[in-house]
Amino acid sequence: MTIQPRTLKGQETQAKLLHTALDCFAAEGYKASSMRVIAARAGVSLSHAYYYFSSKEDIVARLLLNLRTEQFDQCHAALNEGNTLESNIRSVFTSGLHVMQPYHEFGPAFLKVLLSQDLMDNELSAVEFSLWEKAVSGARPLPPLGIRRDLPKFLWLLSRQLFSAWAYDQSANQRRSMLLMNNAAPVVAKFAVLCRLPVVRSLFEDVLSLMDSGNSIRDQEEGQASDPKVFKAS
Amino acid sequence: MTIQPRTLKGQETQAKLLHTALDCFAAEGYKASSMRVIAARAGVSLSHAYYYFSSKEDIVARLLLNLRTEQFDQCHAALNEGNTLESNIRSVFTSGLHVMQPYHEFGPAFLKVLLSQDLMDNELSAVEFSLWEKAVSGARPLPPLGIRRDLPKFLWLLSRQLFSAWAYDQSANQRRSMLLMNNAAPVVAKFAVLCRLPVVRSLFEDVLSLMDSGNSIRDQEEGQASDPKVFKAS
DNA sequence: CCGAGTTTTTGAACGCGTTCAAAAACATGT
DNA sequence: ACATGTTTTTGAACGCGTTCAAAAACTCGG
């Protein structure tokens, strides 16, 4: 994104550029959709594309966001019908696969976008997270109270792991990821039920705090660290 | 790699090329170590480098393998001293961090190599796996018999996840990943102990079979499977 | 209508990873 | 010594993502 155009024509050009890029991605695939091709198809010069989008990755990020919101629209109705937690989890997974499948070859690029931007503070994460919140709060029976609050976050982080498996899945039609997600749903549901037992519950808390310690929301608060161990390579 | 030279001089040139590349990586970093620079430093033409290494990724893979074997040499002694499982897990993690730290900026490239090659069938995975086997078999007291066989694989898969967190870790000196790994060790150890309880044990088995279903050793045998639950989209 | 200041648009270039046809060096049977 | 076939080495090129200085188009107060 990088720039929001001042004039109307600017906005139109930017929109057209984005639209063309998405079409091009769908029609020609990732490698074939070079910046030159996209720009040409949109009827602008190469460097002009860079006036509106700071990088190719930028456009990919946009595509990813579009797909996720599409997934959201597609399955948020099903999540409020009072189905079981397992069924809801499966709904989110399968809608995700369905929406993403045509762009599977973008997997590595998607992953790069996901991993390089801040984990919590962006629109994409918000969309994903809200999906998992609905999946939990709309489930009947509701999961145990003790974990109800943290379950969405757990599911969200889990889904990211599964997404990264999907991204590099080489099996035909991504069958492996499909299987993986379908199997994950009942296991998580079972896990949620077992969390009524204190032993299992404490394990859940361990795992969650683990996930947190690695992906903390607050990131670069090493501020003006008093004695920073800076290793400078010669 | 791609080619093994027929003549002695060829092998020497290849070795020199690899050596130069690794030096260059250490000294100049990833982006600055372009193929042109490496070739020039090694005193050969650009295209000649491609005669011996089929791609830049190829060289990166080589570096990664070197680092892993270095890690192996560094900590395999400590794994036979009869320390606790937790301590052994920590040994493997910290030696890994120690060896990898200078190349942290290679993280994304490393990850790409890891993810694009076959999960089980390669030298790198073998080295990693053997480390985790030692960590389990050398632990005192030994983990519960029921999970002793599968624990190494679990740890190995876990370590891959943590590695991918490390690869994109932007915190100073990868503090977050460090914390993450240090916290993971006791949790896993606790988990191993609790696996004596049938409830927890069955969860472990679920999780493991989950990891297997996603990353099966046998890959493209979609052949005539007896009753596979195949969900075909559309 | 003019000229100053912005915003939009362009062409040319850079360095990158990678490929390829062909030259050079080398080995070997006659 | 020579012709033959293989292995090693090269130079030139391609398309890619990205950058930049400068042209073109637009805006708006005088």
Give per-residue pLDDT as tens, B198-213: 998 998 898 888 877 6
Which nucleotide C1' is nearest B4 CA? D7
Alpha helices in A29-138 (DSSP H): 35-42, 46-52, 56-75, 85-100, 107-116, 123-137
B41 and B140 in a common domain:
no
Highest mean pLDDT pick, A88-97, A169-178, B157-166, B187-196: A88-97
Contact call for residues B107 and B49 (beta carbons, < 8 A): no
Protein-covered nucleotides on strand D (Cβ within 7 A) = 6-13, 15-21, 26-27
Please report the pLDDT score of residue B99 as a whole number. Answer: 97
B37 and B62 in a common domain:
no
Rounded to an integer, the average pLDDT of B88-115 is 96
How many whole angstroms separate alpha carbon B152 and alpha carbon B155?
Answer: 5
Please report the pLDDT score of residue A121 as a whole number. Answer: 83
Model pLDDT for residues B126-142, shown as the tens digit of each residue: 999 999 999 999 999 99
How many whole angstroms separate alpha carbon A109 and alpha carbon A111?
Answer: 5
Its sign, for the CA torsion A48, A49, A52, A57, is negative
First to last CA, chain A: 37
Asked if the model's pLDDT at residue A47 lies above 50, the reply is yes
B20 and B72 in a common domain:
no
B159 and B63 in a common domain:
yes
DSSP single-letter state for residue A223: T
B78 and B42 in a common domain:
no
| Cβ–Cβ contact A182 with B under 8 A | yes
A residues 189-208 near B, CB within 8 Å? 190-191, 194, 197, 199-200, 203, 206-207
Yes or no, beta carbons of A165 and B215 under 8 Å apart: yes
Residue B166 CB-density burial (10 A; 0-12 exposed, 13-18 middle, 19+ buried): buried
Protein-covered nucleotides on strand C (Cβ within 7 A) = 6-13, 15-21, 26-27
How far A46 CA sits from the closest chain B CA (Å)? 24
Yes or no, beta carbons of A175 and B112 under 8 Å apart: no
pLDDT bracket for residue A120 (50, 70, 90): confident
Model pLDDT for residues A68-77, shown as the tens digit of each residue: 999 999 999 9
Instruction: Give residues with Cβ within 8 angstroms of B210, minimum separation 6.
Output: A180, A183, A184, A187
Length of chain B: 234
Q: Kindly report the average pLDDT of chain A as a whole number.
A: 88
A202 and A124 in a common domain:
yes
Please report the pLDDT score of residue B181 as a whole number. Answer: 94
A65 and A48 in a common domain:
no
Residue found by looking up tokens 């074997």 in the block: B69
Q: What CATH number does residue B121 fall under?
A: 1.10.357.10
How many whole angstroms separate alpha carbon B29 and alpha carbon B41?
Answer: 14
A153 and A81 in a common domain:
yes
- Say if A70 falls within a structural domain: yes
Yes or no, beta carbons of B176 and A214 under 8 Å apart: yes
Asked if the model's pLDDT at residue A214 lies above 70, the reply is no
Please report the pLDDT score of residue B233 as a whole number. Answer: 38
First to last CA, chain B: 41
Please report the pLDDT score of residue B9 as a whole number. Answer: 79
The residue of B98, B103, B193, B203 whose CB has the most chain A CBs within 10 angstroms, and thus the best one to mutate to test that interface, is: B203
B residues 68-127 near A, CB within 8 Å? 102, 108, 112, 115-116
Of the candidates A97, A112, A207, the beta carbon closest to that of B187 is on A207
Residue B164: list chain A partners with CB under 8 A. Answer: 115, 164
How many whole angstroms separate alpha carbon A100 and alpha carbon A102?
Answer: 6
Give the domain extent around A23: 8-52
B residues 18-37 near A, CB within 8 Å? 27
The residue type at B64: L
Please report the pLDDT score of residue A4 as a whole number. Answer: 80
- Tell me the CA–C1' distance in angstroms for A228 and C19: 47
How many whole angstroms separate alpha carbon A44 and alpha carbon A216?
Answer: 42
Cα diameter, chain B: 63
- Tell me the CA–C1' distance in angstroms for A7 and C2: 23
pLDDT bracket for residue B226 (50, 70, 90): very low
Please report the pLDDT score of residue A35 as a whole number. Answer: 98
Q: Which of A60, A67, A62, A56 is nearest to A101 (CA)?
A: A67
Of the candidates B184, B200, B222, the beta carbon closest to that of A210 is on B184
A residues 138-177 near B, CB within 8 Å? 161-162, 164-165, 167-168, 170-173, 175-177
DSSP three-state, residue B84: coil
B96 and B31 in a common domain:
no
- Say if A22 falls within a structural domain: yes
B204 and B99 in a common domain:
yes
Model pLDDT for residues B57-96, shown as the tens digit of each residue: 999 999 999 999 999 999 999 999 999 999 999 999 999 9
pLDDT bracket for residue A1 (50, 70, 90): confident
Q: What CATH number does residue A25 fall under?
A: 1.10.10.60
Q: Which of A154, A96, A104 is nearest to A124 (CA)?
A: A96
B207 and B102 in a common domain:
yes
Residue of higher predicted confidence among A219 and B27: B27
- Say if B43 falls within a structural domain: yes
Please report the pLDDT score of residue B234 as a whole number. Answer: 36
Please report the pLDDT score of residue B118 as a whole number. Answer: 84
Residue of higher predicted confidence among B226 and A201: A201
A80 and A43 in a common domain:
no
The tokens describing A232, both together, are 């400078």
How many whole angstroms separate alpha carbon B232 and alpha carbon A173?
Answer: 8
- Say if B143 falls within a structural domain: yes
Size of interface A-B (CB pairs under 8 A): 109
Model pLDDT for residues A172-212, shown as the tens digit of each residue: 999 999 999 999 999 999 999 999 999 989 988 888 888 77
CA dihedral B50→B54→B57→B62, nearest 10 degrees, is -100
- Tell me the CA–C1' distance in angstroms for B5 and D7: 9
The tokens describing A161, both together, are 């792991």
How many whole angstroms separate alpha carbon A143 and alpha carbon A136?
Answer: 7
Q: Which residue is closest to C15 in terms of CA–C1' distance? A: B34
- Say if A36 falls within a structural domain: yes
Please report the pLDDT score of residue B31 as a whole number. Answer: 94
Domain count, chain A: 2
Asked if the model's pLDDT at residue A221 lies above 60, the reply is no
Which nucleotide C1' is nearest B50 CA? C18
Please report the pLDDT score of residue B8 as a whole number. Answer: 77
| Long-range contact set of residues B86-90: C-beta below 8 Å, sequence gap at least 24 | B86/B185, B86/B186, B86/B188, B86/B189, B87/B185, B88/B134, B88/B135, B88/B136, B88/B138, B88/B139, B89/B135, B89/B155, B89/B184, B89/B185, B89/B188, B89/B189, B90/B181, B90/B182, B90/B185
Rounded to an integer, the average pLDDT of B148-162 is 94
- Say if B163 falls within a structural domain: yes
